[in-house]
A and B are shown apart, each in its own frame.
Chain A
């Protein structure tokens, strides 16, 4: 009984902490919809394997949000037809490359300047790798079907055919096919409000599921299990990656949490913990399901795990 009560309390803590950030993310997404409904400007964000993810990552400085808040923003970027690389750069790197997270990292580890340098650098590397990896598969196999349909409607006909838009008969007026998109724009602000509320409710319900799983695992599995391998060069990195997945703490404060066990683990493991959590954890995995297909989610998990492991290993080789 004590465990059930504890799971419930941890669940409440996770949810109440994350909901405001989700609300901020949906608000930013709705503002983007209001000011650039057809995605005219967002489609002009830099493309390219390097420039796209880098510019997306740097958007984090303009829109500081943790991993819960930036999913709706990244969805909006993708929905309006922004370049994939830019949206992925924002999704994967912005939770670290923003002033709040960098300041908290510095505040937690003033004696580890290398961490302040390597955390953002590692995030950029992860964004570049994941962006390159995900663009190896076609958009139809990459993006969640609803998001893909909305993206197709925003892309110019030169880039996407009517068949890909699933619009039915050739010659059918575009306005009739884009009812949702058009009406939400034309009926400002009521349409925007309605769409934003739908998005918040849907992502909020997924967040509830993610928080429930994270609370359950956190309470039932001893944290010491993850820290037991603290000084083994490779296993320490792997175990801290698993801990980052389970703990599901907001990227703006995870450095303070890491401070609690920093002396027990290798430098590579510490960096791995700070790099993996902002990309994916049990709390945010359900939210990412509104962006990607399951296959793409598998690719994200495999790609980020391998990249973080290699970064952690390389650091351990250098410092140990």
Chain B
């Protein structure tokens, strides 16, 4: 299996403060990986560093291409979709406009229209609200919209930052089911950053654990889930 994303010695900085201290990991094509860690561990920073939204050093390669020196928008155009923390919805625009924006860098007009229809099939609630202002949607609906918008890019890699944040458990379960479906059927490699370790480990096949800017554990999701320390620190039993 080829490594779709290769991260070597990633160090990231917020001003003078160093948040990541030399991360090394890779994502295999078609995998669904989760990055677990407590608040402030560096999970969000990792995703932001991949998209060059934070100052960093180190080598990041996507499908063999180095990402350093590219602007965020150019990295995205290579096929990486990033669903940021807080969803980043265009609240002033309609649901449909949000989806159109997801595809704004594409040129194939007819395919975009049919993709929007496909999103409505994945997420029927969005179809119901498609002319509504995105800011009036509930948290769960906005999260669906954020995922749908990311999919409109037809990405090969999707990064999700704490998609479960602020959502009721049932909704999170639904969302994760959809993510699994997307990973298997649409062949999208996924990296999910989560605090909600239990659900994330059920969904993923690979897992990494990050603590204060360093990866402390890596392996298959099941073995991580069964690991004594992980169970005590992140799963509560």
Partners in one complex: no
Interface residue ranges, A against B (CB under 8 Å): none
